[in-house]
A and B are shown apart, each in its own frame.
Chain A
Amino acid sequence: MSSTLQGPVDAYADVSAFYDDFERWLAAGPPELVNAVAPETSTSGQMAGMRDLMKALYSEGWSRYGWPVEMGGLGGTIYHRAAMWEALARSGVSKMGAFEHLEVLGPTLLSLGPAEFVSAVFPRFLDGTESWAQGFSEPDAGSDLASIRTRATAMDGGYVVTGRKIWTSWAHYATWCLLLVRTGTAESRHRGVTAMAVNLKSPGVEVRPIAQADGNDELAEVTFDDVFVPADRVIGAVDGGWAVAMDILSHERGTFPWFRHCFLTSQLQEEIEFAAPHADALLADAILDLASSGAASAAGLQSHNEDSPLGPRAAFTKLLLCSAEQSLYDWTIATDGDIAADPADSSAMETRQRYMFSRIVTIYGGSQQMQLDTIAKRILRLP
């Protein structure tokens, strides 16, 4: 996705006018926003709130900027999307929920997916009627993603998929899953991997939500038992799934960290009324780490806009965002013991949930250790 996207952006060629008008729309308190930011700790409630909000954003046109016209968009650049997510974060929207895959999977679907299929399904994602999940991890393939075993066997008109995925966020709300499957030999590692879009409502698919330590259950285990996938659902090349996965990971370092950073900043502003002097050292670290994640994420946005991918330097953005998130919540729990001892009221409960979630951010999307390995190998070029 680059700034060269064409479309009838008209009045909103200027992103600041777009931002201002959108902010005004949000400030008027549309019911879908009020609902989406109301205290809610269940995954189903959060998901329902986000879905209604996405539908409203689509029908008002806001979420269509930054996407090509033939995909249901109104043209514009990644900056339109970043501006929309920033304004939402600053209005209290804490998570993109399943719609983070608009930003994470969306750009890859558009650039590497089969045009006919993508132009049929993407608009339904954008307008909030359907959502997607990302099926990479398996019980025996976590950090070592190239060891996946879920197999796709070619047959007349497509593939038959059998295997097990785990930690698939929002799978039980999703219609589609971008699945990474083994098409090569068992030993082929990253060379024998293919990406395909699988309809999770197909016969043979079973989705089981997983109860999480933070009280949510957005994660799920998904099993595939002889599931038929038509040939025109392959994303990228057959046996070329690794490149697709890497492209997706690079977009995970685009508008997503920018949105998260903006949310964390507004969370700091919200929690500051509970600040206690004894936690000042942690507050200072949170401020410095947020400054770092903000600057790194802004640079990441720029590189996406210029179509000059960050490559291994994307690991900086990821690590700095994780540090900022953990520092912020280290401070939050230090300054307000209710989060640990008495999260009875709904706002402390939400903060507790976010605290718990911040503990695991160094795992998903490539663990902290994998990011450090990347820097050591590809930037420092250590032996």
Chain B
Amino acid sequence: MIDPFAETDSDFLGSTLAALSTVAPEEALNSLGWSDLLPHLDDADARQALFGLFRAQGRLLVNSSALATLMAHPYLANGWGSTSHVATIQRESPRHGSRTVIMSTPPIGNLLIDRPGEGVRIVASSEVAIRPIDLPGHVNLQEVEVDLVGVPIAIPEEEAAILRAQSQYLGRTALAFDMLGASESALKLAVDHARDREQFGQPIGSFQAVRHLLAWARVDCAALSAVAEQVIDSEEQFLPGYDAIVKALAGRNGQRVCQRTLQVLGAIGFTTEHQHHHFYSRILCMDSLLGSSAALSYELASKYRTSMGAFPDVTLHAAVQAN
């Protein structure tokens, strides 16, 4: 089998993939020393390892406590709570109103519940009902059912707002890397299929229409990878407004990759027996969290149109920066 990403994968990604494919996710996190890197988010090498984990998780359809831990970090780094805290995610459901979810292996310790306009509450996981949501894609999404009446605000809104933005920045970037990994694996499935599956007496991968579908999917992966890697390579720990771009692009390109690869797989790709639907569902689910591609695109455009000029162009002066 030929790996369409062999040329561009770093050694680091290789070892993360190896760790995640041999032992349980939490064990892999420990052996990689992943959480020890959290205090070094200001360092590009540490970011490479921290976010690289998510790309590997997406490739392998694996989940761990990493997202919830990463998103808790800004609160903890500012003195709120201890390492046993994990972050939840708020999502607005048009059918059911406001929901609190967590993407993690079953959480232990304390949950940070940050509601915009209210502030952060801290609740012990033993005091809440956690309902696993049944979804393909091994995303480990769980709904947190909690009655917040009477639960005091631990971090007032004023301080929470800044930390929320940082947490969201990290969460969006991590999800984008996971979606990138999932897109890459979906593409690999389709490339392998195009090489093996024969019709009209030849591999379907010899037909230009099929080749171009796959090539576009590879371009979409390359674009997302280049854009997401700016978060790692930048001298800044947070690039203002850039998380929206990375996450919007991940949703748009990730879905395009899934559509094009499904077309190449044909009917077999539409079965539960085939892996493709796991990658597709994972991407759809992750797209819906922390701002979907549709919502962020709408926000990016209208914000830029009305503010006239605050375009988050992170490659500005690339030649100067690289030097």
Contact = CB atoms under 8 A, between A and B. Distances in A.
B319 A301 contact: yes
B226 A275 contact: no
Given A79-B323, A273-B308, A376-B214, A291 B206 contact: no
A265 B313 CA distance: 8
Of B2, B8, B215, B316, most A-chain CB atoms within 10 Å: B215
A291 B297 contact: no
Given A19-B320, A297-B315, A291 B305 contact: no
Interface stretch (A47-55, A277-285, A337-345): A277-285
A270 B94 CA distance: 38
Interface in B202-248: 202-203, 205-206, 208, 211-212, 214-216, 218-219, 222-224, 226-227, 229-230, 245, 248
A376 to B, nearest CB: 4
B298 interface: yes
Contacts of A372: 211-212, 215-216
A383 B215 contact: no
A316 to B, nearest CB: 4
Interface string A306-329: 000000010110011000000000
A273 B218 CA distance: 35
A268 interface: yes
Contact of A272 (B230, B248, B309, B317): B309
Contact of B298 (A78, A272, A284): A284
B301 A283 contact: yes
- What's the interface size class on B, roughly? 35 or more
B31 interface: no
A382 B320 contact: no
Given A280-B301, A280-B305, A288-B252, A298 B191 contact: no
B151 interface: no
B185 to A, nearest CB: 14
Contacts of A292: 223-224, 226-227, 249
A295 B211 contact: no
A15 B227 contact: no
Contacts of A319: 219
Contacts of B191: 380, 382
Interface in A72-110: 77-80, 82-83, 86
B318 interface: yes
Interface string B139-171: 000000000000000000000000000000000
A302 interface: yes
B305 A272 contact: yes
B302 A295 contact: no
B318 A298 contact: yes
A273 B306 CA distance: 9
B230 A295 contact: yes
A258 interface: yes
A278 to B, nearest CB: 11
B195 interface: yes
Interface in B276-323: 297-298, 300-302, 304-305, 308-309, 311, 313-320, 322-323
A87 to B, nearest CB: 9
Given A14-B323, A287-B304, A320-B223, A313 B7 contact: yes
A288 B245 contact: yes
Interface string A40-77: 00000000000000000000000000000000000001
Given A375-B219, A376-B215, A272 B229 contact: no
B220 to A, nearest CB: 9
Contacts of A302: 322
Contacts, number: 165
- What's the interface size class on A, roughly? 35 or more
Contact of B218 (A281, A296, A379): A379
Contacts of A82: 318-319
Contacts of A275: 304-305
B194 interface: yes
B35 to A, nearest CB: 28
B309 A284 contact: no
B116 interface: no
Interface of B: 2, 4, 7-8, 191, 194-195, 202-203, 205-206, 208, 211-212, 214-216, 218-219, 222-224, 226-227, 229-230, 245, 248-249, 252, 297-298, 300-302, 304-305, 308-309, 311, 313-320, 322-323
Interface of A: 14-16, 19, 77-80, 82-83, 86, 258, 261, 265, 268-269, 272-273, 275, 277, 280-281, 283-285, 287-288, 290-292, 294-299, 301-302, 305, 313, 315-316, 319-320, 369, 371-373, 375-377, 379-383
Given A82-B319, A373-B208, 9 more contacts: A77-B323, A281-B298, A283-B305, A284-B248, A295-B315, A316-B219, A380-B211, A380-B214, A380-B215
30 contacts: A15-B320, A19-B319, A19-B320, A79-B319, A79-B323, A83-B320, A86-B318, A272-B304, A272-B308, A273-B308, A275-B304, A280-B301, A280-B302, A281-B297, A284-B248, A284-B297, A288-B252, A294-B315, A296-B226, A298-B315, A316-B226, A372-B215, A373-B215, A375-B218, A376-B212, A379-B215, A380-B4, A380-B215, A382-B191, A383-B195
